[in-house]
Amino acid sequence: MKKMSMRTKLFTVWVFFVTNFKRLFRDKTAIFFTFLFPLIFLFVFGGISGHSGTSFKVAVVSSTDSQYYKDFVTSAGKDKILKIDSKINTLKAAKEAMTRGQLDATIIFPANFGQLKDGHPSGQAEVLYTQNGAQAGQAVQGFLQTRYFTPVNAGIIKTTTPFVAVPKQLNDKSLSSFDYTFAGLLGFAILGAGIFGPINIFPELKKMGILRRLHTTPLRVWQYFLSIMLGNAVVGLMTLGVMFAVAMTLFHLKVVGNYFELAIFLVFSIVLILGIGLSIGGWAKNERQAAPLANIVVFPMMFLSGTFFPRFAMPIWLQSVTNFFPLTPVIDGARLIATEGKHLTQLGPQLGIMAVWMIVVYFIAFRVFRWE
Amino acid sequence: MTRHISDEIILKVHKLTKKYDDKVAVNGISFEVRKGEVFGILGPNGAGKTTTLEMIETLREIDGGTATLAGLNVAEHPYEVRAIIGVQPQAPGFQDKTKLSELIQMFAAAYGEKVDVKKFLDDVNLGDKANSFVENLSGGQKQRFSITAALVHNPKVFFLDEPTTGLDPQARRNLWKLIEEVRDRGISVILTTHYMDEAEVLCDRIAIMDDGNIIALDTPKNLIKNLLAKGFTKNQKVEQANLEDVFIEMTGKGLAAI
């Protein structure tokens, strides 16, 4: 009896992958859900966050005309994240506007802002906000600090202390809600392809007896799974690539991370989430079994892992629970690499959680898989 | 039908048993199938035909006894056995939007093989359909393709589970012819059916199953002869043709229309 070599077994995987890959592009419904559906979400959510989410209405009350203050006003005008209401320029008017909810916060530049102190210019701008506007106020304060002052400070340190290491702009606290929105949408696309794909296709293949037929051949479950993984990884990267391209051209997403690391991370994510879909779809005998189970698994991730609602706005206890959902490190990791320029080596916690889930999910997938 | 069937035993089933909870579905049955033979398992629904077949096909666990196919113990070498058997499902389904040529490649690949797709499809007169999708084939073409796909790896034994259930008379006769062609290639055929006429036309030998047991095993001719020897007479005169023949004659869609 001839034994199949590993090369032959992988050839089998390759043929299955190629056949199903070609098939996808003949299926209009599949193309819609694979490529256009995530883009629709991107436009909807990108649109929302572009107009309200990312910008804060502020008033600037200044008692100085220092160059640092002027620079701030010019660059804030270009940035469009802080929308300065130029009609309000007294503290009294600003306070009134805030209580009416017209403004998110008021930035006060005192007279000594930008004056020399201990040999270099310094100053303390005050961010004023109301009690119920605390969240926006703190965001404005954080944004002001990281986006405008940190780079300026970095510049000052560079000139005054020559022995300091090269200063680097810190991205990790900069607050752009589109960064969050986009990472969430990436997560949503991965979730959709990885889970809704298999749970729709498998019961259909079982109903038609296609898997049963394959079961009568020497094809192994791992070969079948691997061909699906390969397909999902390639198609997934294409989908996500399109999303990145659209986000970068239309929504001014700035990718500062390494594309190769990003691609590796996304493939790892796609394969992980696919494992959940393979478990459910592979186990379910029919759609009626697959759909409810998929919903139970998908909905918590959809709402709590940061797809549509940023996790930083959730209570701490909820964050600490949802930290361990499989999709959370996917979304966080994608954002950390893409928009914050982190490297894979810096994503220990995310990759760790994902690795554990990977083992759990595929252990289940192989255990519960049924050919019919 | 005078064909030479070799004495070589391709399948040996010994005291094969399957239990579902307390119910015995297959009760220690034994039989042998020779190379090039068409072997029929006949019986009513629930007799254990399908279960027997599925145990030999490695799809269902064997609870007792052994099945040995081409010298391989089925329970111990499922993957090796799968490599040398072909299985035609009851209602053959193929994924849509996939070309015949691609499906053939895929099935061959499942066995770790590459085939000359064009030659393969030409051999079964489907060469001009190589770029069609299965859903665009006619019923007869689909049948032919399904059997072809199941034989892509040139198996030693071909299994068909109730292949003609639910088919119209033309499609049935069509399939019988296809099965005869498979047999003529020297492949042993094992099929289940609950149609007596089908068993009589196709099978060299028949095992009649009831309630998990084989209650008779012989050639159709011998089974009839034994019955007649017991003094059995039909209470109706046997016509030389039946209504099915009339239908096929009138619609002109007999075997020639394949």
Confidence of residue A281 (pLDDT cuts 50, 70, 90): very high
CATH numbers and ranges of domains, chain A: 8-50+173-368 (no CATH), 56-156 (3.40.1710.10)
Q: What's the gap in Å between the CA of A53 and the closest CA on chain B?
A: 43
Tell me what the mean pLDDT of segment A245-272 comes to: 91
In chain A, which residues touch B (CB < 8 A)? 1-2, 4, 8-9, 11-12, 14-16, 19, 22-23, 26-27, 205, 208-210, 212-220, 371
Is B89 an 8 Å CB contact of chain A?
A: yes
pLDDT tens-place string over residues A28-63: 888 888 888 888 888 887 776 544 445 778 888 888
Is B83 an 8 Å CB contact of chain A?
A: yes
Tell me what the mean pLDDT of segment A347-351 comes to: 94
Q: What is the DSSP string of chain B?
A: ------S-EEEEEEEEEEEETTEEEEEEEEEEEETT-EEEEE--TTSSHHHHHHHHTTSS---EEEEEETTEETTT-HHHHHTTEEEE-SS----SS-BHHHHHHHHHHHTT----HHHHHHHTT-GGGTTSBGGGS-HHHHHHHHHHHHTTT--SEEEEESTTTT--HHHHHHHHHHHHHHHHTT-EEEEEES-HHHHHHH-SEEEEEETTEEEEEE-HHHHHHHHHHTT---SSPPPSS-HHHHHHHHHT-SGGG-
State residue A92's pLDDT score.
85
B93–A209: do the CB atoms touch at under 8 Å? Answer: yes
Q: Is the pLDDT of residue A100 over 90?
A: no
**Higher local confidence (pLDDT), A325 or B138:** A325
Q: What's the gap in Å between the CA of B235 and the closest CA on chain A?
A: 43
Confidence of residue A161 (pLDDT cuts 50, 70, 90): very low
**Higher local confidence (pLDDT), A123 or A207:** A207
Cβ contacts (< 8 Å) between B91 and chain A: which residues?
209
Is B107 an 8 Å CB contact of chain A?
A: yes
Q: What is the pTM of this model?
A: 0.77
A210–B107: do the CB atoms touch at under 8 Å? Answer: no
A19–B105: do the CB atoms touch at under 8 Å? Answer: yes
pLDDT tens-place string over residues B114-162: 999 998 899 888 999 999 999 999 888 888 899 989 999 999 999 999 8
Q: What's the gap in Å between the CA of B247 and the closest CA on chain A?
A: 31
How many A×B Cβ pairs under 8 Å?
78
A208–B80: do the CB atoms touch at under 8 Å? Answer: no
